[in-house]
Structure 1
Amino acid sequence: MTRIAIMSDVHGNFEALKEVLADLDGHAVDAVYCLGDMIGYGPQPQECVDLLRGRGVECTMGNHEQGLINIHYLRGFNQPAADVLRRTREMISEETYQWLTTRPKSIVEHGCRFVHGLPPDSVTEYLWKYRDEMAGVFARYGEAVCFVGHTHDLGRYTCLRGEPVRQPLPEGETALEQGVRHLVNIGSVGQPRDGDNRAKYGLLDLDSRVLTMRFIPYDIKKTADLIVARGFHRGFADRLW
């Protein structure tokens, strides 16, 4: 059996990431992928990157990593988010900065594509903007399964004979049917926006094509208090609840 884990949008939330990885330790996996936005919004960017790298997680670039590169990319953020990124740059080491800003825009392994925003390799485009153009989105990549993040919202699309259909992605097991192409929004570890404040990640059995979504509780108050204590916009703390 070959099994992989997929997560996205940690956003400097060390408490959430620790609990996700602790849960993951109870499941044998062959590889772990993070679909970008390891930093931004949250108060512990360096700690999150150190943990992801220490665990050998393969990471793609997100728009928050791209926002660190230069002012051109930073202009795409609202003011509070841009302020956090400037502060984040001060909080991380030079070596971490170089690592974050050189992540690949997409990864293709195990017959799956992994990208932050929109296939084939966009770190900035939101999936919801293309809900009426999903046939074109599926045409952009050739893999049977593509995982994305960026919106912090769980969901998936299936495409059979060119007809994309939106499907739910609940906690627990979901079969990704053979002979059907799938695009899966894996949600967020550090700042979920799907109405459930637990950290989210997925486990995919590549043989059976069963995707198991794990919803993990963590100490939200600890992270929220630290966001405020470090002078970040209070809205980023409130959003965790």
Structure 2
Amino acid sequence: MPRLAIMSDPHANLEALTQVLHDIAGQGADETYCLGDAIGYGPQPQECCDLLREAQVTTLMGNHEQGLINIHYLRDFNQPAADALRRTREMLDEATYHWLVSRPKALVAHGCRMVHGTPPDSITEYIWKHETAMDAVFSRYPEAVCFVGHTHDLMRFTHGVGVGASRKLPLLPGETALEPGLRHLINVGAVGQPRDGDNRAKYVLHDTDARTVTLRRVPYDIARTAALIAARGFSKAFADRLW
């Protein structure tokens, strides 16, 4: 069985995405997946999409890709985020725009479900909104392992028949064994705009044979991305958030 690299939320941060893909190559991953939000907030949407396709990263739809589709979806964003998506659209060529808005909402690969927001296939629901009802979330899909993004944070949940309610656990740096007999939902954090208190880009490696998840934290040139955010007409708040 292959070793999977799983990332989410690059958010047009080419510096972070480049370093993450370099790290993935060094770790010997067999396949790489992105759980959506390749664009939004960041200054290099076209370049990030080009890199994802060049690196053959299987990419899902996030809420920022959905926001490009029409004004109905754009209404769900606050004003700075909506303005950033309008600016993003100006920077994308037509082929890339159509690629982004045609991404799948969810997929199952090697027995693992992958989705941007909340399983089985919600792009927009934050998993933390369901923390008091995670048993219900686990009941909506059959896979033993599920990976999500969207919150830009790191966490994991376990669930098993006869072991009480679902548990929320931290996703710590390094390797985490996925306990046998339980189901697991892992939030992989963010590449382009982490919000877990550590400004390094995040992604995970999943060894499907050993049943482990390894959190990787990758430094990148934050100053360069922050400067480009301002230079290309995006809100300064998006640059400040990177630090």
TM-score range, shorter chain: over 0.9
CA distance in 1, matches of 2:135, 2:118: 13
**Counterpart in 1 of 2:195?**
193
**Counterpart in 2 of 1:208?**
210
**Counterpart in 2 of 1:99?**
99
The gaps in structure 1 that reach 5 residues or longer are none
CA distance in 1, matches of 2:165, 2:131: 12
CA distance in 2, matches of 1:210, 1:130: 24
* Matched letter for residue 174 of structure 2: G
Question: % of aligned pairs identical?
Answer: 67
**Counterpart in 1 of 2:109?**
109
**Which of 220, 223, 234 lines up with 2:222 in the alignment?**
220
- Taking structure 2 as the reference length, what is the TM-score of the superposition? 0.98
RMSD value over aligned CA atoms? 0.8
Q: Matches of residues 24-173 of structure 1 in structure 2 within 5 Å? A: 24-161=24-161, 163-173=165-175
- After TM superposition, give the deviation of residue 122 of structure 1 in Å: 0.5
Helix, strand or coil: the match of 2:51?
helix
**Superposed CA offset, 1:15-50 (max 9, x none):** 000000111111222211000000000000000000
CA distance in 1, matches of 2:157, 2:13: 28
CA distance in 1, matches of 2:237, 2:225: 13
Asked whether the 8 Å contact 2:116–2:149 carries over to 1, the reply is yes
**Superposed CA offset, 1:211-241 (max 9, x none):** 1110000000000010011111100000000
- After TM superposition, give the deviation of residue 163 of structure 1 in Å: 2.2
* Matched letter for residue 107 of structure 1: L
CA distance in 2, matches of 1:157, 1:143: 14
Displacement over 3 Å in runs of 4+: none
Helix, strand or coil: the match of 1:37?
coil
CA distance in 1, matches of 2:32, 2:25: 11
**Counterpart in 1 of 2:2?**
2
**Superposed CA offset, 1:101-124 (max 9, x none):** 000000101000000000000000
CA distance in 2, matches of 1:117, 1:163: 21
- Taking structure 1 as the reference length, what is the TM-score of the superposition? 0.99
Helix, strand or coil: the match of 1:65?
helix
The number of equivalent residue pairs is 241
- After TM superposition, give the deviation of residue 206 of structure 1 in Å: 0.4
